[in-house]
Structures are given as structure tokens and as C-alpha cells.
Structure 1
């Protein structure tokens, strides 16, 4: 019954901006660790508010992930929406809306809901133009985690059984992180705190919410990441791994 959640059905392909389809249902992924933040004129890419935020970040990786996520969101808006094609990047701005718990991109007089996920420098973004239930999550697959201990502490019994069923640590890791990204994606799609979805059976939750999921792995910088998407049945999301950000 849960087998389809573990099939790698999410379409993932390497791409450049010039080769991206003009589809609203697009997730962009980029390795932010490759950004040389200190050698970029950030005022060209970030709004005054965003500059104030990134300047408060102490860790370099935090700066890289912040810059990459904002560049990806803005370039995605310019690429998919012709009316934004000539808007300078620093005239677009992202702000967190406390009322709806969404990061929103402000372009001219438009406000677009967004979704962001990052793990160990790998950053993914999407724009939710129709404001339907949608969310995605990226997590690095680490074989060093105590999967059984963590699962027994947080997860549903049915999920624990799936994780502990295989004897190979690699299989346990894949199952553990797939369940984790599904929970995170569902939390974002339904606008619920992740704490509310740790113990419930995530597969039953998807059924109750009438949402679908699709997942896959992304290989990047000698590491493997799991990505899962939660979305409405009428929506087909695709993921593209970018080689550069056109900075």
C-alpha cells in the first residue's frame, strides 16, 4: 500500500536557465556552496531589506543559502512570468508573512507564495502561483544517524517497522529520510508545524488530506539528498538542478 511512496518518480534533470520550460510547476535546485558571496555585489541582487537580513548572518553557509534561495526565486519568477522579465533583481523582495506562515516574493504590486528547502548547502525553491496545497523538502541522506533510535522516539509504529525491516544500513537510511521528507513536505503543504506530523502515519495523512507525493534522490557534491513533494492531484511538479545562477 505504501510502495509508491518509495518509488523515485519525481522528474529530476540538470539544466541551465535557458533550457528551462516555462512551467509554473517547477522546483529549482542549486548547490549554494559554490557561491563566492564575498566577491559579489549583493546590492545588484538583493533588496535593501534582504541586504539587512544577509548582513546579520554570521556563518558563510547561511549567507550562501540565503543568497542562492533569493536568486533562484527571482530568476524563476522572471523566467516563468513574462511581465516580470525586465524587473531588476534588487527591485524584487522576499518577506515572511507571519499571518499565513509563508515566505512571499513581492514583485511590483504582486505577492507570490514561495516554498524553500535547504540541507548542507543544497538549496531548492518553488513559486506557488495558484496558492494550492504544495510543499517540498530536501534532506541529506546520512548513514551516521541512529535511525532505529530516532524512529522509535518520533515516528509511528508502521513507519518504524518499514525502517527496521531491512538489515542493510543503507536501506534503513533511505527509508528513514524518505519518510522524513514526506512529513516535511506535507507539513508545508498543509501549513502545519512539523511537530504535529512526527508521530502520525504520514501515508495515512496524505490520504486524509487528498494529496499526492512524488520523490527522488539528488546526487550533488559527493553526497546524496532525498527530495519529496506534496501536491494536489491536478499538478505535475518537476525538479531541475542548475549548474549556475546567472549572477
Structure 2
């Protein structure tokens, strides 16, 4: 059972551990304004391109909170953080001047955001709001492998949605960790053992990926599915910590 708790005052990150944060991105306007001050010019430009004001505010909150979280690990003011982006858009720190490389990944859905923070290991995280999908079977056949789509289609209707979102979040978290992007959805196959162990396969190379990649699932709220994939490097379930980012923590740090 996953326990979400408040972060300690003296936040530290070991090389053999990983931190997952959850945060509400529907924030009051005064807090949102304070976070927006730390955004870069290009982040503000991206925020202004959103058509709906709600989406703009959520983007500002998501990026502003990311900067705040990372700043605690690096002891650097949030506005001083600089990001670079891979050809597929994955952000990385450009001014990480510590001995160990701080790695991170972000995902948000509806009013929630999740953040994965680690040292010296590639990491990907995905979060999905589990809303009903009228075209679920078509989506499975389009984006999943034939075996995965067949499994979903054979399930009772009540179970199809849960399994679809479990597969989707795990596969997308893996593709974010590797930087491959959604184009690789069909090349990765996910299966579950009776003990609920998650197996990751690369069907193009016929390789089981578990020895190199760690994978776990989490539910930050009842109607959300989340998944994390990271380079294993001695990472285990009991070395992943789960933090809740509260308004009080934001205001006092």
C-alpha cells in the first residue's frame, strides 16, 4: 500500500531512491501569480498559447511547481533554473552544477500533476484521469500491440477501462523515460503476472526489459492512474517515496 506523506523540512535524495510528488494545479490566483514570476520567457509564451484560461492556469501551476520542487534539491532560486529539450520535447536541466545529475519527469491530467525526481537515472512518469472512453477498443487496436488489444477486447466491459489505462500509463511512462515518444507505443508490450509483477517487453528485439528498467504503479487520487518507469540501478519499491505538495508547503518554502 502506497502512503503519501508531507515532505520533510530537510529534503534530501539518495542515489538509490526516487521521489514522486503529487500536487493540485487548480490553485488560487495569488499563489498562481507568485509561481508565474519564476517562469522563463518561453514558458510564458507557451502559457499564452492556450485557448482556454483554465488550461493556461494549470500549465503555469504545473511548471511553477516543478521549478519550486527542483529548487529545493539544488538549493537554487526557482527562476534561475534553465531547461533544455530533446527533439521529442522531453525537458532536462541545463544548469545542474552538482556532482550528481538530477533527473526529473512531469505529467498532469485534469487538476492533478505528478513529478518524479531522481539522481543519475533516466525516469518517466505518466498520469491519466480515468474517464469513460466510447472508442476504447479502437484506441487499443490503434496504439497497442495486437496481443494487448485482444486481451482488452476479451475482458468484461467493466474491466476494459481499468486495464486500458494501466497499460497506457505504463507504456507512456517507459517511452518518456527512454525519450522515444508515443511513436513507440506498439513496440512495447506490458503483461502482468499472477503476483501482479509488471513485465516490459520490446517485441521488435524480443527482449525482456525488467533487468534494466524499474516499473511501478500508483493512484494519487481514486479516479487517476499513474505509472513510473526508471532505470533500475538498485531501485526497489521500498526506496520510492511519495510526497504530497500542499499549499502550506508552497507558501513556506
TM-score of the two chains, using structure 2 as the length reference: 0.74
**2:250 aligned partner:** 246
Asked if residue 64 in structure 1 is aligned to residue 65 in structure 2, the reply is no
Please identify, of 36-45 and 111-120, the stretch whose mean Cα deviation from structure 2 is larger.
36-45
Aligned with 1:149: secondary structure? helix
Shift of 1:114: 2.9
- Equivalent residue in structure 2 for 1:192, among 176, 180, 185: 180
Q: Could you tell me whether the CA contact under 8 Å between 1:177 and 1:226 is conserved in 2?
A: yes
**1:124 aligned partner:** 114
**1:114 aligned partner:** 104
- Equivalent residue in structure 1 for 2:131, among 122, 142, 149: 142
- Equivalent residue in structure 1 for 2:220, among 218, 233, 242: 218
Whole-Å separation in 2 of the counterparts to 1:145 and 1:162: 18
**2:12 aligned partner:** 22
Whole-Å separation in 2 of the counterparts to 1:176 and 1:148: 9
Cα gap change, 1:208 to 1:92, in 2 (>3 Å)? closer
Shift of 1:29: 1.5
Shift of 1:161: 3.4
Cα gap change, 1:92 to 1:198, in 2 (>3 Å)? same
Aligned with 1:33: secondary structure? coil
Whole-Å separation in 1 of the counterparts to 2:111 and 2:137: 26
Shift of 1:43: 5.6
Whole-Å separation in 1 of the counterparts to 2:72 and 2:32: 25
Whole-Å separation in 2 of the counterparts to 1:204 and 1:137: 18
Shift of 1:133: 2.8
Higher relative contact order (CA 8 A, sep 6+): 1
Q: Deviations over 1:122-149 (max 9, x none)?
A: 112233431x232111011112343223
Cα gap change, 1:107 to 1:174, in 2 (>3 Å)? same
Unaligned runs of 5+ in 1: 1-8
Q: Could you tell me whether the CA contact under 8 Å between 2:35 and 2:61 is conserved in 1?
A: no
Shift of 1:178: 0.4
Cα gap change, 1:42 to 1:242, in 2 (>3 Å)? closer
**1:231 aligned partner:** 230
**2:4 aligned partner:** 13
- Equivalent residue in structure 1 for 2:92, among 90, 100, 104: 104
**2:201 aligned partner:** 204
Q: Could you tell me whether the CA contact under 8 Å between 2:23 and 2:244 is conserved in 1?
A: yes
Shift of 1:243: 2.6
Aligned with 1:201: secondary structure? strand
Count matched residues.
Answer: 227
Cα gap change, 1:200 to 1:23, in 2 (>3 Å)? closer
- Runs of 4 or more above 4 Å deviation: 17-21, 106-113
Shift of 1:18: 4.3
